[in-house]
């Protein structure tokens, strides 16, 4: 805490926490650090407007500091360089402005601090949004020798002239692990009590505003009914009775080794055989249950899933021609430049008839107004929600699919009303057109740009609406015979693994029957779905006689799609893409048509 106007004897009493306070050089100065009494700390330096403490984190120590630099004063670099041989993190109000940390103007303190950071190679832990209410400037931040995986966020609350800043460290100060536990019973109970109120609100607001507020409600409610608890015990891989037998066997073995009495030996051997027999029975039962589970449906593919999805190491940086990049902001800016170029507007050939037809068809569709879609029933929403997996990854609104799955049944009617408002206008949620992109490494901690797997997280409410439209497209494909027998991807009840097994069997029969070699050609189109041209996609849908309301909805759905790269707490600029689409299931099916027809 910086700009604290109280002394040690006047500091507020907070149970289980201790204060370390230091007065400042003016009436607005002073700093303080609040420490839980379970942590092992030691004060290293105390000076006006500056505190530096040593905190023990597991088996090593780090330095945590608080600082306040009055306006017009120079940054005390002599204090910042105290004990820099250790990992240090110094937070506070620096009153230093520079464009490097998103300030509109630079001042002398900012220029000095920027030069010092470049000279020493230190890094900033700075939020994206302004921290000062008096100006659009970020002047509250942290300085460290390593900002990897740190997160910071400006909290738009409070009555001070500065906004509070939340910092999240990548390490734990306790040997115990912590996990987030959400009380879904309270979550469900609260939603049930406000169901009638939301049923009125959904009629009085348009779909865009309602679902935006609804997502905020679910996210806030989930945080409010959650708590972080320490891990006190771990689940044993064996059932309790086997654990008891193992303990008894070990106890008798120790007893015999100590006494060397024949009776103790016989007792130990007896219980050892009992334990071995019961363990074999348990393992046999487990194996039989597993084999029975594998024989059911498509569970065999769940068993071999890890084979097709190898382990991906955590992304710690990027390898470029200039070397390894570790700065989070540079990483997201580099990735944004790469993806923006990858999804740039393609050039067409006016001499190619198919290109001319695609431009004409796209232009004609753009002149049409939005066409109402067929009304959505409660059964449609219920079926789409039932098919949704219980994933915990959050979208840009802060909610996950699990939040939707835990809602009371009465909320399906409310969602249906909102979806029908969109269906009546043939529109789509604008917020669902933005993708939160997380990049996963395919090769090592410092991969190159072409060795990344972008994972796109879009609005879960929007995805629910997409599933309903997707089901209608599948029904149309089946009725019109759009599918070909050889297609396995993005097709219900067909898998790529099945196609591979079929191919291997065809090869075996060919070679065995004719006793001659067979030639197989494998073709992999680079970024096939990423490079789908929207104009050609619309043209092919028209040629396939797709219903006009769906074509117009797909046209609107493809417009103004954007993305931002997220790496920890660092977010890139918002970029647009004009070909392909990030992840949405609807586009994968119609993209297959484009490839087949194009």
Count of CB atoms within 10 A of residue 552's CB? 20
Q: Which residues of 234-273 are buried (b: 16+ CB within 10 A; e: fewer)?
A: eeeeeeeebeebbebbeebbeebeeeeeeebbeebeebbe
Mean pLDDT by 10 residues, the chain (598 residues): 57 82 80 86 89 81 90 88 78 91 90 88 88 88 85 82 86 69 93 93 92 93 88 75 90 90 92 93 92 86 70 79 86 88 80 89 91 93 90 86 92 94 90 87 84 87 91 86 73 73 82 74 75 84 90 89 85 73 46 46
| Residue-level pLDDT at 311 | 61
**Which uninterrupted H or E stretch holds 447?**
none
Q: What is the distance of C-alpha 379 from the center of its chain?
A: 30
Distance CA(504)–CA(216), nearest Å, equals 51
| Residue-level pLDDT at 482 | 79
- Find out whether 455 and 439 touch, Cβ atoms under 8 Å: yes
**Cα distance from N-terminal residue to C-terminal residue, the chain:** 62
- Find out whether 451 and 442 touch, Cβ atoms under 8 Å: yes
Distance CA(346)–CA(387), nearest Å, equals 36
- Tokens describing residue 150: 């740190």
Digit-coded pLDDT (tens) for 94-137: 999 998 888 889 999 999 999 988 888 888 999 888 898 888 89
Count of CB atoms within 10 A of residue 228's CB? 8
- Find out whether 282 and 242 touch, Cβ atoms under 8 Å: yes
Count of CB atoms within 10 A of residue 441's CB? 19
Distance CA(494)–CA(508), nearest Å, equals 22
This prediction's pTM: 0.64
DSSP letters, 62-124, are EEEEEEE--TTPPP-HHHHTTTTTS-EEEEEE-----GGGT-SS--HHHHHHHHHHHHHT-EE
| Residue-level pLDDT at 492 | 67
Residue in this structure with the two tokens 């995986």, named with its chain if needed: 149
The two most distant CA atoms of the chain are separated, in Å, by: 98
| Residue-level pLDDT at 585 | 46
Distance CA(228)–CA(83), nearest Å, equals 33
| Residue-level pLDDT at 595 | 43
Distance CA(130)–CA(467), nearest Å, equals 39
SS3 of 230, please? Answer: strand
Count of positions (residues) in the chain: 598
The candidate with the shortest Cα–Cα distance to 165, out of 219, 127, 135, is 127
Distance CA(493)–CA(483), nearest Å, equals 12
Q: Which CATH number fits domain 17-168: 3.30.56.10, 3.60.10.10, 2.30.30.90, 3.40.50.300?
A: 3.60.10.10
């Amino acid at each position: 805490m910086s700009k604290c106007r109280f002394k040690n004897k006047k500091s507020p009493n907070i149970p289980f926490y201790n204060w370390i306070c230091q007065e400042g050089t003016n009436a607005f100065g002073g700093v303080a650090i609040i420490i839980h009494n379970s942590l092992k700390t030691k004060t290293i330096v105390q000076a006006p407007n500056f505190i530096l403490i040593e905190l023990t984190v597991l088996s090593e120590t780090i330095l945590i500091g608080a600082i306040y630099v009055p306006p017009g004063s120079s940054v005390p670099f002599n204090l910042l360089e105290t004990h820099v041989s250790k990992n240090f993190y110094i937070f506070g109000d620096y009153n230093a402005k520079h464009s490097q940390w998103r300030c509109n103007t630079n001042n002398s303190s900012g220029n000095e601090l920027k030069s010092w950071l470049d000279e020493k190679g230190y890094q900033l832990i700075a939020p994206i949004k302004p921290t000062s209410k008096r100006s659009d400037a970020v002047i509250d931040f942290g300085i460290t020798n390593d900002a990897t995986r740190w997160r910071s966020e400006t909290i738009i609350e409070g009555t001070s002239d500065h906004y509070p800043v939340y910092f999240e460290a990548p390490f734990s100060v306790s040997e115990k692990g912590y996990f987030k536990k959400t009380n879904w019973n309270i979550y469900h109970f609260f939603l049930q009590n406000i169901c009638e109120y939301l049923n009125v609100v959904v009629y009085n607001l348009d779909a865009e505003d309602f679902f935006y507020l609804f997502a905020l409600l679910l996210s806030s409610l989930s945080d409010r009914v959650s708590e972080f608890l320490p891990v006190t015990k771990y689940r044993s891989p064996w059932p309790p009775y086997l654990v008891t037998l193992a303990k008894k066997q070990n106890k008798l073995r120790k007893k015999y080794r100590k006494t060397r009495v024949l009776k103790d030996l016989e007792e130990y051997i007896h219980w050892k055989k009992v334990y071995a027999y019961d363990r074999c029975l348990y393992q046999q039962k487990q194996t039989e249950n597993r084999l029975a589970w594998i024989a059911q449906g498509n569970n065999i593919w769940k068993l071999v899933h890890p084979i097709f999805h190898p382990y991906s190491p955590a992304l710690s940086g990027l390898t470029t021609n200039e070397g390894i990049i570790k700065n989070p902001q540079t990483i997201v800016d580099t990735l944004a430049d790469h993806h923006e170029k990858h999804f740039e507007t393609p050039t067409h050939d006016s001499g190619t008839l198919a290109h001319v037809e695609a431009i004409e068809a796209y232009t004609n569709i753009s002149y049409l107004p939005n066409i109402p879609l067929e009304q959505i029933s409660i059964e449609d929403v219920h079926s789409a929600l039932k098919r949704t997996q219980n994933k915990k990854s959050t979208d840009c609104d802060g909610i996950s699919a699990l939040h939707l799955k835990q809602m009371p049944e009465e909320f399906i009617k409310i969602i249906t009303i909102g979806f029908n408002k969109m269906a009546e206008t043939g529109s789509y949620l604008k917020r669902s057109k933005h993708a939160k992109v997380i990049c996963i490494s395919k090769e090592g901690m410092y991969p190159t740009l072409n060795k990344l797997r972008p994972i796109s997280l879009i609005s879960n409410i929007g995805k629910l609406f997409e599933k309903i439209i997707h089901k209608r497209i599948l029904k149309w494909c089946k009725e019109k015979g759009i599918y070909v027998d050889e297609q396995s991807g993005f097709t219900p009840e067909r898998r790529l693994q099945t196609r591979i097994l079929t191919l291997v069997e065809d090869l075996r029969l060919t070679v065995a029957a004719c006793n001659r070699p067979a030639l197989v050609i494998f073709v992999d189109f680079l970024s096939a779905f990423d490079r789908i041209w929207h104009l050609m996609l619309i043209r092919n849908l028209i040629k396939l006689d797709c219903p006009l309301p769906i074509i117009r909805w797909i046209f609107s759905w493809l417009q103004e799609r954007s993305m931002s790269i997220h790496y920890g707490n660092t977010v890139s600029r918002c970029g647009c893409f004009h070909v392909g689409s990030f992840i949405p299931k609807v586009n994968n099916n119609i993209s297959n048509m484009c490839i087949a027809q194009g």
